[in-house]
Amino acid sequence: MTITTMETKLKFIHGFSNKIRLQILEAIKFEEKTVSQIVEETNGNQSNISQHLACLKGCGLIVSRQEGKYVYYSLRNAKIHELLDMFDLVLEDVENDVACCQNHVD
């Protein structure tokens, strides 16, 4: 793997590495939503959610579309949905180890 490919991969994974970004991805996993809907579902604030949406969009994980005065956000494609599902499946196998891991404490 080249250094450029590794750096790109790290940027991609970074999109998943934040609690709020992960909450946003889960919120739009099954249907597109507006910023207001995402804010309500995640109990966040609009400014913070908007920053994380920009990050997710920049990482290529989500897309947006404008309809009138509303912007709707959704997962980029079914592969992102599958990846979120795969995280859950893998987590089932390693959950106890992850929970006990002392290397990644907040």
- pLDDT tens digit string along 13-30? 988 999 999 999 999 999
The answer to the question of residue 31 being in a domain is yes
Residue 64 has pLDDT above 70, yes or no: yes
Of 37, 18, 15, whose CA–CA distance to 28 is shortest? 37
Rounded CA separation 3/6 (Å): 5
Count the domains in the chain. 1
Find the CATH number of the domain harbouring 22: 1.10.10.10
Per the structure, the complete domain to which residue 11 belongs is given by 3-100
The answer to the question of residue 46 being in a domain is yes
Rounded CA separation 88/68 (Å): 36
- pLDDT tens digit string along 71-89? 999 999 999 999 999 999 9
Least confident of 3-7, 36-40, 55-59, 70-74: 3-7
Q: Per DSSP, which regions of the chain are E strands?
A: 33-34, 62-67, 70-75
| Structure-token pair, residue 67 | 């309809």
* Whether the model pTM is above 0.85: yes
Inter-residue contact 44 to 20 (CB < 8 Å): yes
pLDDT-based confidence at residue 53 (cuts at 50, 70, 90)? very high
Inter-residue contact 23 to 40 (CB < 8 Å): no
Coil/strand/helix, residue 80:
helix
